[in-house]
Amino acid sequence: MREAGIDKVLYYRTKEFDSYCKGYPKTSEISLVDEIMKWETQHRPHIEQLETRALRLAKGDLMRLSDLENPQVEERLKVHESSWNNAKNEWAFASEEESFREKGPQTFSPEVLCAPSSCQLVSDSEGDKSTFTFLLPKDASSLCACSIVPVREGDFLGIFASKIRFSENWSTTHGIRGPIDNLWLDYSQVTGMLNQMRVSEPGGHSNVRLQWEVVHDDIGTDSCTSWRVSVKATKRIMPFEPLIRVAAQQEQFIMHSSSENAKRGFLELCEAY
C-alpha cells in the first residue's frame, strides 16, 4: 500500500481498519489497494488540515486563525483575523459587564451549565469533538460547518463566536437571547467557524443547540461575570453532515439566507474584510 502512495490512512489506522483489510473479499472486483487508495484520496486533505490545526494549537492558536488560511476557506470567506474568535465569548462593553455584576448572585435554570474558570474554555473530556469540526466547501462559493468524525448527542463541537451583551436594546438579526432578562449574544462584530453553520427557520430542523455556560471567575465562590456559549449536538451526527441550528427569530433566518452575508461571515457590513 505504501508503494502505491497510501500514507495518511495507514499512519492513523485503527484496529477496525486492520480487521477490515484482513476480511476484505479476495473475489472483489476492486482490489484492496484500490479501495484504500480511494479512502486516502478522500480523507488525506482533512487529515492534513487536522495536523495543521494541532500544530498551530500547540503554538497557542486558540482563535484558530489557521482555519482562515485554508485556500478553500479563503476563497469563500472574507473575514479579517481581528474579527475571528473561536476561543471565548468576551463582553462587548465594560459598562454592561459592570451592570451585570451589580445585580449580584444569580439563580439560573438547570439548563445553564457551569464552567469552572475562564482559563478552561475548551473541554478535555471524551465528548469534545471541537478539534474535528471544520469548514468545508458546500459548493463553488459557500461553506458548511461539519465534523469529520461521528458525533454523539451531547458532544461539544466548539464555541459560538459572539460578544456578551447586557442591555434592553438588542439586534433581531445578530442577537440571541440568554437565560436571564437583557442578557444576549451579539455576533455582529465577531464571527467564527460555527457561526457559518446552516440556520433553519424558527421551529425548524436542527442537530445542534447553543448552550449557555456560567464561568465562575473565582473558584470556590458564586461570583459570575463571564459566560461561554457552547455548541452541543442534539442527536447523532454522521461525518460530513452539515451542522444546523435554529434561527433565534425570522429576521435572523432571512439574514443567513443571503450569500453576500455568508461571504463576510455574517458580520455587519462595516466589519467585512
Same domain, 23 and 145: no
Please tell me whether residues 133 and 30 are part of one structural domain. Answer: no
Residue 232, pLDDT > 50, answer yes
Choose between 262 and 272: higher pLDDT.
262
Q: Return the pLDDT at 224.
A: 62
Residues 152 and 17 in one domain: no
Q: How far is CA 224 from the centre of its chain?
A: 24
Residue 140 to residue 75: CA distance in whole angstroms:
9
Domain membership of residue 254 (yes or no) is yes
- Whether residues 29 and 71 share a domain: the answer is no
Residue with cell 460530513: 240
Same domain, 131 and 25: no
pLDDT recorded at residue 218: 54
Residue 126: its pLDDT value, please?
63
139 and 181 fall within a common domain: yes
Residue 111 has pLDDT above 50, yes or no: yes
| 69/52 same-domain check | no
Give strand pairing partners of 79: 272
Hey, which bits of the chain come out as E strands?
90-91, 113-115, 133-137, 143-147, 156-159, 163-166, 175-177, 183-186, 198-200, 208-216, 224-233, 244-246
Determine the pLDDT at residue 216.
67
- Mean pLDDT, range 122-127, rounded to an integer: 57
State the Cα–Cα distance between residues 71 and 252, nearest whole angstrom.
Answer: 28
User: How far is 237 from 153, CA to CA, in rounded Å?
Assistant: 8
pLDDT at 120 over 50: no
Number of domains comprising the chain: 2
Residues 149 and 48 in one domain: no
**pLDDT at residue 125, as a whole number:** 55
> What's the pLDDT band for 165 if we cut at 50, 70, 90?
very high
Which 8-state DSSP code applies to residue 117? -
> What's the domain range around 85?
65-271
Average pLDDT along the chain: 90
Statement to judge: residues 36 and 73 lie in one domain: no
Domain limit, last residue, from 20, 41, 58: 58
**83 and 47, same structural domain?**
no
Instruction: Assess if residue 1 is contained within a domain.
Output: no
**pLDDT one-digit tens code per residue, 74-102:** 999 999 999 999 999 999 999 999 999 88
The model's pTM: 0.87
> How high is the pLDDT of residue 155?
97
Q: Is residue 2 part of a domain?
A: no
For residues 26 and 79, membership in a common domain is answered with: no
